[in-house]
């Protein structure tokens, strides 16, 4: 048995040697492949915006001095029904999904991300606006949609928030039924600029002044034509969005967007336009004061609180209050739409005892 095992082991060894001796010589190593092309510099795309031309710094500096940046509305208006316009996150959600959240952790004031699609492509396409869709105004009068649709290019973004809110109860028809107000917050809210500009949303009672078409409404670019006109440093225009600035203690208008409708090529012409605007605003304020006095007498307005009173009021009294509040909250003192503003106030005054 032992002899058989030895013969078996010896045979296996010989077979292994035979198999090994049949293997050929090792082949040569293959040729290395060519190196791939270098990728694009990681900062090349970023430099489309983040570069040494200071353009971004200019716009940021202007915006940092704006009311939008410094109004601090985001903190107290971080609640349902307010976040769309008073927080940056809310407006972005509204523009992208149509539905802002009821509130946000760390609510932000409006900033670059509010209006622009920042860091989506890391190219200049990031400056694309978050929305430019025409705006059907929440608060409007009449059934002709064209008359209450704001469609002015880039300014459509502004109109989403700078418009009157829906009235509840609704604005009465001329000479219609009485209106019962159960709370003191009835009105168009704080920014009905889009309504005033296109001349829609007021209680248009007949009177001595016609509700004429506004020449400002014919400007195809709308708000940005004047509010983002060639800036005065960081103090007005451009991304500051303001229309006035202080020059050695004197308040001046940034009228660079007023041409070609208004001559402003010389110092004298600029001065004349400023005087014209100042005088018209003074006239508007006088009409507001006169209408306010009548509304107080009518019992609908609390001048101390700056709010309406509760109760039941005639259509003319309720309509006159909406005209007063609309012009007051527009904050241009009639400049956005001189004829329409004057008609709303003067005719309302005439309609009240």
Per-residue pLDDT of the chain (353 residues; tens, 9 = 90+): 555 445 444 554 445 544 444 555 666 676 777 777 665 666 677 888 888 899 999 999 999 999 999 987 889 899 999 999 999 999 999 999 999 999 999 999 999 999 999 999 998 899 999 999 999 999 999 999 999 999 999 999 999 999 999 999 999 999 899 999 999 999 999 999 999 999 999 999 999 999 987 888 889 999 999 999 999 999 999 999 999 998 888 888 888 888 768 876 677 777 788 888 999 999 999 999 999 999 999 999 999 999 999 999 999 999 999 999 999 999 999 999 999 999 999 999 999 99
Residues 195, 116 share a domain: no
Residues 102, 146 share a domain: no
Predicted TM-score (pTM) of the model is 0.85
CA angle 185/187/189 to nearest 5° reads 85
Residues 85, 142 share a domain: no
Residues 191, 122 share a domain: no
Residue 309 resides in a domain = yes
Residues 146, 103 share a domain: no
Residues 201, 61 share a domain: no
Residue 15 resides in a domain = no
Residues 246, 202 share a domain: yes
Q: State the Cα–Cα distance between residues 160 and 195, nearest whole angstrom.
A: 11
Calculate the CA dihedral of residues 112, 115, 117, 118 and round it to 10 degrees: 0
Residues 215, 321 share a domain: yes
CA angle 66/281/199 to nearest 5° reads 85
Q: State the Cα–Cα distance between residues 184 and 178, nearest whole angstrom.
A: 17
Long-range CB contact pairs, 152-155, < 8 A, 24+: 152/219, 152/220, 152/221, 152/222, 152/223, 153/220, 153/221, 153/222, 153/224, 154/129, 154/221, 154/222, 154/224, 155/221, 155/222, 155/223, 155/224, 155/225
Q: Which domain holds residue 85?
A: 54-127
Residue 116 resides in a domain = yes
Residues 115, 96 share a domain: yes
Q: How many domains does the chain have?
A: 2
């Amino acid at each position: 048995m032992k002899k058989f095992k030895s013969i078996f082991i010896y045979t296996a060894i010989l077979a292994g040697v035979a198999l090994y001796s049949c293997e050929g010589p090792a082949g040569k190593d293959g040729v290395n492949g060519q190196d791939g092309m270098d990728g694009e510099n990681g900062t090349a795309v970023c430099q489309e915006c983040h570069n040494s031309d200071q353009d971004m710094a200019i716009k940021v500096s202007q915006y940092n001095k704006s009311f939008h940046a410094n109004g601090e509305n985001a903190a107290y208006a971080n609640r349902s029904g307010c976040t769309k316009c008073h927080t940056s996150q809310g407006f972005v959600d509204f523009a992208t999904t149509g539905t802002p959240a009821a509130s946000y952790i760390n609510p932000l004031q409006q900033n670059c991300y509010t209006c622009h699609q920042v860091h989506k492509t890391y190219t200049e396409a990031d400056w694309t606006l978050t929305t430019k869709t025409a705006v059907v105004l929440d608060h409007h009068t009449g059934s002709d949609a064209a008359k209450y649709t704001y469609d002015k290019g880039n300014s459509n973004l502004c109109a989403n928030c700078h418009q009157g809110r829906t009235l509840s109860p609704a604005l009465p028809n001329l000479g219609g039924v009485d209106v019962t107000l159960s709370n003191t917050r009835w009105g168009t809210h704080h920014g009905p600029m889009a309504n005033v500009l296109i001349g829609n949303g007021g209680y248009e009672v007949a009177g001595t002044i016609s509700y004429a078409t506004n020449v400002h409404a014919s400007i195809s670019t709308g708000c940005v034509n004047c509010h983002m006109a060639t800036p005065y440093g960081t103090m007005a225009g451009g991304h500051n969005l303001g229309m006035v600035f202080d020059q050695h203690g004197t308040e001046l208008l940034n009228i660079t967007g007023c041409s070609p409708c208004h001559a402003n090529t010389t110092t004298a012409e600029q001065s004349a336009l400023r005087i014209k605007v100042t005088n018209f605003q003074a006239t508007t304020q006088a009409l507001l004061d006169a209408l306010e006095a009548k509304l107080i007498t009518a019992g609908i307005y609390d001048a101390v609180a700056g709010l309406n009173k509760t109760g039941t009021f005639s259509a003319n009294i309720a309509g006159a209050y909406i005209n007063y509040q609309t012009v007051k909250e527009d904050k241009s003192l009639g400049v956005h739409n001189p004829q329409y503003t004057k008609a709303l106030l003067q005719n309302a005054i005439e309609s009240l005892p």
